């Protein structure tokens, strides 16, 4: 586990490395925890500012300087987990940028806060 811990999100070393590479390619980034259909439990990685952040979105923390958001109600319904950002082989299925590098981000839960 890397030392990139801010509040409720931490990243594994592998995820940290992927984010650093993506930052080199795409510039500043943002991460947003998705929900719902298909690859709905995945965090989606976008260029910073790509998704308009609303009043009901919660900034959970930062991973290597990249802000990580979640919908406030979703976070409550997930019972406020501490999230661990990791990465696995195989492309992301949605609009998430790491898919272009042939990998996909995942989250697993640590203990709730």
Using CB under 8 A, list all residues that contact other proteins.
32-42, 44, 46, 50-52, 71, 73-74, 77-79, 81, 88-97, 99-100, 104, 106, 108-109
Q: Tell me the CA end-to-end span of the chain in Å, nearest whole number.
A: 19
Measured from the CB atom, the residue of 17 and 101 that comes closer to other proteins is 101
Least Å distance, CB 74 to other proteins, is 7
Contact between 6 and 63 under an 8 Å Cβ cutoff? The reply is yes
Measured distance CA(53)–CA(50) in Å, rounded: 9
Measured from the CB atom, the residue of 20 and 112 that comes closer to other proteins is 112
Contact between 73 and 20 under an 8 Å Cβ cutoff? The reply is no
- In this structure, what token pair is assigned to residue 107? 């989250």
Measured from the CB atom, the residue of 3 and 90 that comes closer to other proteins is 90
Least Å distance, CB 25 to other proteins, is 11
């Amino acid at each position: 586990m890397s030392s990139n811990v801010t509040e409720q999100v931490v990243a594994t070393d592998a995820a940290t490395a992927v984010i650093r590479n993506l930052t080199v390619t795409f510039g500043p980034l943002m991460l947003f925890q998705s929900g719902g259909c298909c690859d709905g439990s995945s965090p989606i990685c976008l260029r910073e500012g790509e998704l308009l952040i609303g009043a009901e979105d919660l900034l959970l923390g930062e991973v290597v300087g990249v802000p990580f958001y979640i919908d406030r109600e979703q976070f409550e319904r997930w019972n406020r987990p501490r999230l661990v950002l990791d990465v696995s082989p195989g492309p992301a299925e949605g609009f998430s940028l790491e898919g272009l590098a042939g990998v996909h981000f995942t989250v697993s839960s640590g203990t709730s806060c």
